[in-house]
């Protein structure tokens, strides 16, 4: 499919505690607007590993790409855009904002902790001959932390289908010059985010020089709860990079 505003493909990268289906409502709206979009699986195993994987996905797409990252997906597209030459712009959705040498955890220093910080559930997983640690959101807190503006039944499904992220994903510093230093960027702030302090999102957007839109009352899951607005911002970004 080709966008009437741009020939670019939109690559939608999910964050922790979610999967590619978190973009389902945005994808359906982009397709309705005749915009090419893909939503690859983010491995959630480490910032460098995940960034290299998404950069590989992007590099194999013909033509320019607009990278869109939600939550931890924001640091991942920050990394990937430094490696994929066809990346032409970045859209951050309720995202962490990292610079070179800064981790996801480090990007939130100086801000009061969000509800997520006290709602994590550690589990182990095999990592070669070693044992790694990964994190879920405690199911009983998932609705409040992740998607407070979605119905109870939908939140319950998301809670039991969440994908965990390895601890290294949050603690590993960005190892490359971030793509937002050379590419145009847009930032959608979730005004009632309980997973990332909204002030941290606002500060990240300012630091990156992004064009900012704030969704008042929006939870961390704004790509689901405010899919029309998020899609509108993505299409607007497409028209500018086109």
Tokens of 148: 């407070």
Encode 218-229 in three state secondary structure.
CCCCHHHHCHHH
Nearest to 178 by CA among 55, 10, 20: 55
Convert the pLDDT of each residue in 6-55 to its tens digit. 589 999 999 999 999 999 999 999 999 999 999 999 999 999 999 999 99
Q: Tokens 């990292």 appear where?
A: 98
Residue 4 confidence class, pLDDT cut points 50, 70, 90? very low
In a domain, 131, yes or no: yes
Domain enclosing residue 194, as ranges: 9-241
At residue 224, φ and ψ (nearest 5 deg) are -95, -45
3-class DSSP assignment, residue 166: strand
Convert the pLDDT of each residue in 116-160 to its tens digit. 999 999 999 998 889 999 999 999 999 999 999 999 999 999 999
Q: What is the mean pLDDT of residues 212-222?
A: 98
In a domain, 4, yes or no: no
> How many separate domains does the chain show?
1
Q: What CA–CA distance (Å, rounded) separates 224 from 150?
A: 8
pTM: 0.96
In a domain, 98, yes or no: yes
CATH of the domain at 21: 3.40.50.1820
In a domain, 2, yes or no: no
What's the pLDDT score for residue 116?
98
In a domain, 151, yes or no: yes
In a domain, 3, yes or no: no
In a domain, 72, yes or no: yes
- Residue 7 to residues 1, 11, 30, 138, Cα–Cα distance (Å): 9, 13, 13, 41
């Amino acid at each position: 499919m080709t966008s009437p505003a741009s020939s670019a493909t939109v690559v939608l990268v999910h964050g922790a505690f979610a999967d590619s289906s978190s973009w389902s409502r945005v994808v359906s709206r982009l397709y309705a607007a005749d915009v090419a979009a893909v939503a690859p699986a983010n491995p959630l195993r480490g910032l460098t590993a995940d960034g290299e994987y998404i950069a590989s996905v992007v590099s194999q797409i013909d033509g320019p790409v607009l990278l869109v990252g939600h939550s931890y997906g924001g640091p991942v597209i920050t990394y990937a855009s430094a490696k994929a030459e066809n990346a032409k712009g970045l859209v951050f959705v309720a995202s962490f904002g990292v610079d070179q040498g800064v981790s996801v955890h480090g990007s939130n220093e100086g801000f009061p902790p969000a509800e997520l910080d006290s709602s994590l559930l550690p589990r182990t997983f095999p990592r070669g001959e070693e044992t790694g640690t990964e994190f879920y959101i405690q199911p009983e807190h998932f609705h409040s932390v992740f998607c407070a503006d979605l119905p109870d039944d939908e939140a319950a499904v998301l809670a039991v289908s969440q994908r965990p992220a390895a601890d290294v994903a949050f603690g590993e510093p960005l190892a490359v010059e971030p793509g937002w230093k050379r590419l145009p960027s847009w930032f959608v702030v979730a005004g009632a985010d309980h997973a990332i302090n909204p002030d941290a999102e606002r500060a990240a957007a300012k630091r990156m020089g992004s064009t900012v839109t704030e969704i008042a009352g929006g939870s961390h899951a704004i790509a689901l709860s405010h899919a029309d607005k998020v899609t509108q911002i993505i299409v607007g970004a497409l028209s500018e990079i086109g």
